[in-house]
Amino acid sequence: MRRATARLADAGVPSPRVDAEELLAHVLGVERGEVRRLALLDRELPGDAGARFAALVARRASREPLQHLTGTAPFRHLELVVGPGVFVPRPETEQVAQVALDEAARAQAARGRAVVVDLCTGSAAIALALATELPGSRVHAVELDAAAHAWAARNVAAVTAAAGAAEPLVHLVRGDARRALAELDGTVDVVVSNPPYVPPDAVPRDPEVAAHDPAVALYGLGADGLEVPRGVTAAAARLLRPGGLYVMEHAEVQAAAARAMVADAEGFGPAETLGDLTGRPRMVVARRLGGARDGGPEES
């Protein structure tokens, strides 16, 4: 563990000890806490575990994402399967899911059931979080990219099976977010999205993102990176019922531009910027005009 931690630290990995523990836990098929216990006891590694661990450490030192090496990524209370071809869910997106969840819970309390749409769902992280944390809600998710859609389908199937549900917890659609789910137009309580939004000239700093996250999940097109989000915003206006809420993640430098984007779209009340768990401005929130709750979103 000491050698692995030192090697990862020398490679610039931000959390070398944690990553080393996660990799060894993966090799041994145990929890990270058990790895710590075994290290304190200075136990020997069984069989070829040492060689397999060393190989994974070498790959992590080359800045291959930890989640690609273990095959899983945590998101809120879920453990999702991920790998090449799908965007790895990040902790900052968990607060985006929370804002959507709080609004869906209010809608469900008022009308008996909430209808939620997750556009550009990727691994289906947000959609599955809402579906499992708000039983009785009807959650739809849309993904265009074939590889990402395949990962989302695996996660929907796995989480549904773990819940013992007879029907899929999320209605997953492969399609263009701008045109998908036309049958739901004007009926949705919450539209949430973590779309591609990185501007074309902004190269991600972390090698794990720049070299391994799919470009289709990163770059939002247009000079400001908001061309794809504009299409998502127009779809949200189409899908939402009067008074329904739109929640979209963006880069912290795009807060003003994202509010202006929503203002330019037809049908929304005043847009607000909300922060992630660290307080950074990371999402735009706006309510569809025409309902009793016009006048802006409520902070959660």
From CA 254, how far away is CA 224, in angstroms rounded?
8
Q: Encoding tokens for residue 98?
A: 């929370």
Q: Rg for the chain (alpha carbons), in Å?
A: 20
Lookup: tokens for 122: 């990727």
Residue with tokens 């989640």: 67
197 is in an annotated binding site: yes
Q: Is 196 annotated as a binding residue?
A: yes
CB 80 within 8 A of CB 155: yes
Q: Do the annotations mark residue 143 as ligand-binding? A: yes
Q: Which two tokens stand for residue 265?
A: 């779209």
170 residue type, one letter: V
Q: Is 195 annotated as a binding residue?
A: yes
155 is in an annotated binding site: no
Is the Cβ–Cβ distance between 45 and 11 less than 8 Å? no
Tell me the CA end-to-end span of the chain in Å, nearest whole number: 41
- Determine the distance from the C-alpha atom of residue 34 to the mean position of all C-alpha atoms in its chain, rounded to a whole number: 28
| Annotated binding residues | 143, 194-197
| Annotated binding residues for substrate | 194-197
| Annotated binding residues for S-adenosyl-L-methionine | 143, 194
